[in-house]
Structure 1
Amino acid sequence: MSSVLRFPPVSSQQSLAYLETKLAYYTDAWDLAEDLAQQVSEIVVIDARSAEIYRAGHICGAISFPHRIMDEASTAQLDHSKLYVTYCDGIGCNGSTKAAYKLATLGFQVKELIGGLDFWKRDGHPMAWGNAPGEWPGAISTTGDAASCGC
């Protein structure tokens, strides 16, 4: 018997519902980079790692907000109309999940960045160093050429 077919596939409608839900929880580096390059103002990127690690290199435009200090008081200045995209080091780290969880419990809309900073760097997207979020260097290509993932 087929290992793949041991568990029969669900209907296309069940797949559609699952995949729509999955996309509502996550974004990837290419989609986020495209939105940052286009200066989409409804999105705020949060680096959920420690401030020290943030200074050593972070997503260009991300703010430092360690998940360990997130609570009602520390998030009071955040805008509830924004979508907060959280990230940490990568798939071996759950700091972005903890940050998204804390923000969601406080009523914020959140998504996690798939693969975190590891996938961001792997794809060659802009980085910044130091305490400041950094300025986006310019527009990225979204036409499927060598600067695109081809998705």
Structure 2
Amino acid sequence: MSSSVSATPAAASDAAIAHFSAKLGFETDCWDTHHALSTGTADFVLLDVRGPALYAAGHVPGALHLPHGKITARRMAEYPPETLFVVYCAGPHCNGSTKAALALARLGRPVKEMIGGVTGWLDEGFVLSEGMEPGTLHPA
């Protein structure tokens, strides 16, 4: 008797390597983002793509505010073409970061989603910055 987990066999190792390697090209997690920001090794631009009120209420320290619907070629032209963007939204129940990542990819920009968003950030025990007036591309 097998479980519902093992009823479908696991992928072959070469297929699993390809899948999980590709997956890491699309996403990063809160822990790695926090580590890069806190050690001064961030080689990416972190974008909070939620609305102004949510950004003002609390955001990841160091994140710039750019709602996903306002990602345009003109705004992204402020950055060199090779700039890596990491985007996040409220959390797993929100697809704003997916919309932002798609918009950036359509503009030919390197992008990763920070999985978990604000919910994941808080679940890891990290703090949010508060009190920043919302606005497009304002540093935290």
SS in 1 for 2:87: strand
Looking at structure 1, the residues matched to 10 and 42 of structure 2 have their Cα atoms a distance apart, in angstroms, of 39
TM-score with structure 1 setting the length: 0.83
- Residue 145 of structure 1 aligns with which residue? none
Runs of at least 5 residues in structure 2 that lack an aligned partner in the other structure: none
Which residue, out of 105, 127, 139, partners 1:133?
139
Looking at structure 2, the residues matched to 120 and 51 of structure 1 have their Cα atoms a distance apart, in angstroms, of 19
Runs of at least 5 residues in structure 1 that lack an aligned partner in the other structure: 135-151
Higher normalized helix content (fraction of residues):
2
Matched, 1:19 2:25: no
- Residue 117 of structure 1 aligns with which residue? 118
Identity %: 39
- Residue 55 of structure 1 aligns with which residue? 56
Looking at structure 2, the residues matched to 79 and 109 of structure 1 have their Cα atoms a distance apart, in angstroms, of 11
TM-score with structure 2 setting the length: 0.89
- Residue 95 of structure 1 aligns with which residue? 96
Q: How does 1:64-103 map to 2 (within 5 A)?
A: 64-103=65-104
One-letter amino acid matched to 2:99: K
Looking at structure 2, the residues matched to 45 and 38 of structure 1 have their Cα atoms a distance apart, in angstroms, of 15
Aligned CA RMSD, in angstroms, stands at: 1.4
Give the count of matched residue pairs. Answer: 134
- Residue 11 of structure 2 aligns with which residue? 10
Contact 1:24 1:111 (C-alpha < 8 Å) held by counterparts: yes
